[in-house]
A and B are shown apart, each in its own frame.
Chain A
Amino acid sequence: MADYKITADSFKPAHIAKEQQEKLGTDNMTFMQDALRRLRHNKMAMISLWIIIAFIVISVLSIWISPSNPNTQHLKWNNLPPKIANWSIPGFRGYGVSAGEKVNVYAQNNVPKNVWFVLGTDSLGRDIFSRILVGTRVSLFIAFMATLFDLTIGVVYGLISGWKGGMVDTVLQRIIEIISSIPNLVVAILMLLVFKPGLTSIIIAIGFTGWVTMARLVRAQTLQIKDQEYVLAARTLGESSVKIAMKHLIPNLSSTIIIQTMFTIPTAIFFEAFLSYIGIGIPSPTASLGTLLSDGQKNFRFLPYQMVYPAIVISVLMISFNLLADGLRDAFDPRTTR
């Protein structure tokens, strides 16, 4: 430091060209890129995302590849415990407890050496693993349909209600209040009067009530955004209402919409499982996580695997969706976090 001399030259004004003054140094990043970058830093959300992707891939593939037909009954091979090949993995050796003693159930039932069931069989000898795959597929299909209703009816309804305001808004909000005051279960049961129990009636019940929260959130946000000056600017330029909705409202609502969709999905999955569990959902023999749980629950004390595995699947599925939703909310709305 000692040899550093301060001369008059050090105090000359730095010359900055006019273009340099206005130059922007940061990377050109869109809002979505920024949000995804934040999402990638969230470990739980990323693990959940990969679990969900794995579930989707496996359940779609299982349409063509399945260990065995999920509805084929092997009455001689019923209630077999889990067994994977002849490997010695604890819990998957084919042993069960009978009269207080450990026995090889496969040997007892004279099952050939080359036949085994990864997650065992149920009381009618159906392969539980294949049935779980079918059940997951049903759950994800319900999730897809719920998303579809959220994005179509919910978003459009909320946009119209918020944008039009006045009488239109009042009427649409009263309709929403009436719909949301009827419990989902009642709607689902009423559907059974008109339709046969099954996927259709569940989807119609979700289509009737599932989008209400989305519509309310979108309306509230629209009310906020429609008085923003950039929307006023678009109006003074002569932009039509539909174009304003597409160019200004929906892009600025996208985070609300994505987050709410992610919270709707687990609700819809659980709704289907619940209906199937109490016996007014998916009819037998088609498997659903709800029917698997209800079947397994009958023998839970003696054959716990019949209920444990479907329970694990539905729990992991719902936790993953919820954690991903939390992660997305943090990523899209960094101000509201903790």
Chain B
Amino acid sequence: MAEEREKLVQVRHLVQTFNPGKKSEVRAIQDVSFDIYRGETLGLVGESGSGKTTTGRAIIRLYKPTSGEILFDGNDIAGLHNGSKQMKEFRREMQMIFQDPYASLNPRMKVKDIIAEGIDIHHLAKDDADRDAQVANLLQLVGLNPDHATRYPHEFSGGQRQRIGIARALAVQPQFIIADEPISALDVSIQAQVVNLLKNIQEQRNLTYLFIAHDLSMVKYISDRIAVMHYGRIVELSTADEVYNHPLHPYTQSLLSAIPIPDPEKQKNA
């Protein structure tokens, strides 16, 4: 069924090596290939240091990939140069939600200016009134009070900050969003709130997600398919149910066994 759908992102033999040829050489990603279909959510799981975040940052071109291809909507974006026209267009199409809501908002900027940063860069607002209206809409979309636009980030809670980060990513109307562990720094009670918000927005705006996390249970909830990463390689990639119920790779099995079961009887027998 998935084969019929359009491939939005195609990653081909992606390799990311830091400090190549030096003593401190790190091979973060070693020959990774996968596709992301339009409208789906691909979950990317793995332990700390397995290269999940690096993969996300390489796809959104925060890093320059050492080799390999990244096709976005049919165009190779792995070789784009910063400041080029294609790069600027690409920046509008793909956005990122970050892990730490306390570090991802500039403490010296008003919420209004944080959210409108992308609007300013890509000249998406006709005038100041239009800009304010867009910001108010985005705030409402993520469930925040538009009156908060003139506040500074330190006045908000972790969950509220994360929602401001989501509003910032949505401001440039992207097609594809990379969520880099967006819930791992939040309280359990807020996690579900943010994940449900992401799901609702996906339906409303027909977005495609790459959802990076280390918590398999939450990833299963939001993802259509799951890729499991280990030491810079993808060891398993299948539908969420398949990975969850019939794990093939021993590493996936060990990841699944690490999920705590909220039932003492089952936990004992497992």
Contact = CB atoms under 8 A, between A and B. Distances in A.
Chain A complexes with chain B: yes
Interface string B86-113: 0110011011101110011111110000
A27 B150 CA distance: 11
B83 A233 contact: no
Contacts of A234: 117
B107 A239 contact: no
A240 B83 CA distance: 7
Given A22-B143, A233-B117, A233-B168, 11 more contacts: A28-B152, A31-B152, A229-B103, A230-B106, A233-B96, A235-B62, A236-B96, A237-B121, A238-B118, A238-B121, A251-B109
A141 to B, nearest CB: 32
B62 A237 contact: no
SS class of chain A's interface: helix, strand, loop or mixed?
Answer: helix
Contacts of A233: 96, 98, 104, 117, 165, 168
27 contacts: A19-B145, A22-B160, A30-B152, A31-B152, A228-B103, A229-B98, A229-B99, A229-B100, A230-B105, A232-B57, A232-B96, A232-B104, A233-B98, A233-B165, A233-B168, A234-B117, A236-B60, A236-B95, A236-B96, A237-B117, A237-B118, A238-B92, A238-B121, A243-B121, A247-B117, A251-B109, A252-B108
Given A230-B106, A251-B106, A252-B107, A24 B151 contact: yes
B122 interface: yes
A237 B91 contact: yes
B98 to A, nearest CB: 4
A240 B81 CA distance: 12
Interface string A258-269: 000000000000
Contacts of A228: 103-104
A26 interface: yes
Contacts of B87: 238
Contacts of B99: 229
Interface string A274-305: 00000000000000000000000000000000
Interface string B220-254: 00000000000000000000000000000000000
Interface in B135-157: 143-145, 148, 150-152, 155-156
Interface of A: 19, 22-24, 26, 28-31, 228-230, 232-240, 243, 247-248, 251-252, 254
B172 interface: yes
Instruction: List the 4 closest A-B pairs by CB distance, nearest first.
Output: A238-B91, A229-B104, A251-B108, A229-B98
Given A28-B151, A233-B168, A236-B95, A22 B144 contact: yes
A238 B62 contact: no
Contact of B150 (A28, A239, A248): A28
Nearest to B153: A230
B122 A22 contact: no
Contacts of B144: 22
Contacts of B152: 28-31
Contacts of A229: 98-100, 103-104
B83 A236 contact: no
